[in-house]
Amino acid sequence: MKFKPLGERALVRVVEREEKTASGIVLPDTAKERPQTAEVVAVGEFENGKKVNQGDVVVFAKYSGTEITLEGEDYMILDADDILGVVED
């Protein structure tokens, strides 16, 4: 797949996690909140001081981004302002 976001945007793949309650019950997809972490797949031209690289795991604002499907896989396009931070190991 070749896709380059334009402007200050990043193409990300949402990181899905299995969610459990405190008592150990696994929640079905319909009861889960929308994930807020994603892996960066491609980046555009960031000029406002924010910098993310391919492979970074980022946290993004709730209800942000545009969902797209490329070659059968789901991705999101995030604006630089919607990226809140980078998760470091």
Which residues have CB under 8 Å from 51's CB, separation 6+? none
CATH number belonging to domain 9-15+34-87: 2.30.33.40
Structure-token pair, residue 68: 């797209």
Top pLDDT among 69 and 22 is at 69
Q: What is the pLDDT, as a whole number, of residue 41?
A: 94
Tell me the pLDDT tens digit for each residue of 46-65: 886 778 899 999 999 988 99
Q: Does 2 have pLDDT greater than 90?
A: no
Please give the Cα distance from 71 to 85 (Å, whole number). 28
What integer pLDDT is reported at residue 49 of this predicted model? 72
d(CA 54, CA 43): 7
Provide the residue ranges of all domains of the chain, joining segments of one domain with +.
Answer: 9-15+34-87
pLDDT tens digits for range 13-38? 987 655 666 677 765 655 445 668 89
